[in-house]
């Protein structure tokens, strides 16, 4: 049974529950909410649970070991809580009994669920939100121990969400011209700002001490989200990293006669959220390993679109402060270099 081939860990809705008196047919499956296990009835009638694996499709964990001939079987939780496998395509064509859990309970509602540790269970109740006492379970579990290898991480930049947080002033310099003529000069230097990069998924699997992965991070350039070519960040599972980005700049200035000019360098700070898909190797407590696809979200704080604004006026005493200042212009800053510390 290769149901695992289409399973995405952390992806969309999965059918982990089979309500009472509904049929689980051959070709259908239950999938644990974390996407690591699937359960279904094989063509020989054997009801099985598998670990999902991108390469192998499914790795056997548990089965009833009851098999039959005919090629048509289905599983069902009966009104007494007994989980059974019958010949036939569904309850409307039910044939001979093949296997049963033989665990029953008083009248009411029951449901079958495939839990995140691989255990196939029958509980009282109509579903997980109204879960009652345990009626039966397969008793075979294998929880995830840790992530042992990260193979790849791909961002879905087309689905990026950008929220502008505001403008940050990074640098200010005041130049005074005490002559009777306009003076031209070049303002040069460097500015820096801290940026954060974080990755998260809904499961928070533990990552092995020897596991690391270098990945680029999304950034904003020319008004769109793209991958940074300057920063290769060490991926931190369900955590974040902080880096300092520096820009070298050179911008021409003109200071009018008998005035002072103040230059303020600012950057727009935005939060970027980008979905990603990761291929990783998980190790279970049994020692088994599987390759899975995990979906999560990248969230980063990013500075971009640096500008320089100019104000002219007269200096107030020796404090270097302008008085009667007038903002004359704002333009993109001339960037000469950029790098991450």
Give the pLDDT band (50/70/90) at residue 5: very low
Asked if residue 329 lies in contact with residue 309, where contact means CB atoms within 8 angstroms, the answer is yes
Residue 62 to residue 328: CA distance in whole angstroms = 75
Dihedral, CA of residue 160, residue 166, residue 168 and residue 173, to nearest 10: 120
Give the pLDDT band (50/70/90) at residue 2: very low
Asked if residue 303 lies in contact with residue 195, where contact means CB atoms within 8 angstroms, the answer is yes
Residue 329: pLDDT over 50: yes
At 32, list the tokens. 């644990």
List pLDDT tens digits, range 209-234.
566 677 788 888 888 898 876 666 66
Residue 8: pLDDT over 60: no
Residue 284: pLDDT over 50: yes
Q: What is the pTM of this model?
A: 0.75
The CA-atom distances, in angstroms, between 276 and each of 146, 158, 160, 198, 306 are 20, 11, 10, 12, 28
End-to-end Cα separation, the chain, in angstroms:
50
Q: Which domains does the chain have, with CATH numbers?
A: 3-142 (2.90.10.10), 151-281+295-340 (2.170.15.10)
Question: DSSP of 29-93, one letter per residue?
Answer: -EE-TTSSEEEEE-TTS-EEEEEEETTTEEEEEEE-----SSS-EEEEE-TTS-EEEEESSSGGG
Residue 139 to residue 118: CA distance in whole angstroms = 9
């Amino acid at each position: 049974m290769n149901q695992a081939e289409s399973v995405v860990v952390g992806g969309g809705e999965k059918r982990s529950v089979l309500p009472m008196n509904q049929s689980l047919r051959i070709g259908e499956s239950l999938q644990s909410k974390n996407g690591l296990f699937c359960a279904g009835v094989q063509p020989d009638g054997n009801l099985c649970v598998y670990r999902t694996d991108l390469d192998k499709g499914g790795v056997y964990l548990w089965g009833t070991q009851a098999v039959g001939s005919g090629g048509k079987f289905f599983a069902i939780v009966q009104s007494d809580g007994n989980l059974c496998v019958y010949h036939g395509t569904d309850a409307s064509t039910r044939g001979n009994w093949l296997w049963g859990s033989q665990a029953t309970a008083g009248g009411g509602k029951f449901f079958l669920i495939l839990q995140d540790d691989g255990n196939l269970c029958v509980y009282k109740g109509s579903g997980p939100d109204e879960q009652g006492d345990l009626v039966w379970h397969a008793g075979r579990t294998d929880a995830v121990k840790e992530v042992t290898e990260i193979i790849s991480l791909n961002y879905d930049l087309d689905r990026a969400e950008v929220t502008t947080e505001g403008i940050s002033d990074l640098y200010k310099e005041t130049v005074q011209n005490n002559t009777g003529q306009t003076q031209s000069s070049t303002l040069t230097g460097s500015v820096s700002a801290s940026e954060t990069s974080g990755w998260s998924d809904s499961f928070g699997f533990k990552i092995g001490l020897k596991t690391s992965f270098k990945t680029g991070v999304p950034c904003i350039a020319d008004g769109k989200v793209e991958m940074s070519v300057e920063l290769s960040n060490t991926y931190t599972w369900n955590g974040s990293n902080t880096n300092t980005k520096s820009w070298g700049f050179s911008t021409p200035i003109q200071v009018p006669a008998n005035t002072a000019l103040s230059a303020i360098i600012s950057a727009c700070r935005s939060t970027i959220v980008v979905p990603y898909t990761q291929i990783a190797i998980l190790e279970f407590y049994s020692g088994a390993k599987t390759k899975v696809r995990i979906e999560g979200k990248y969230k980063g704080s990013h500075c971009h679109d640096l500008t320089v604004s100019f104000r002219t006026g007269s200096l107030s005493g020796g404090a270097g402060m302008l008085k009667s200042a007038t903002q004359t212009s704002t333009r993109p800053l001339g960037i000469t270099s950029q790098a991450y510390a």
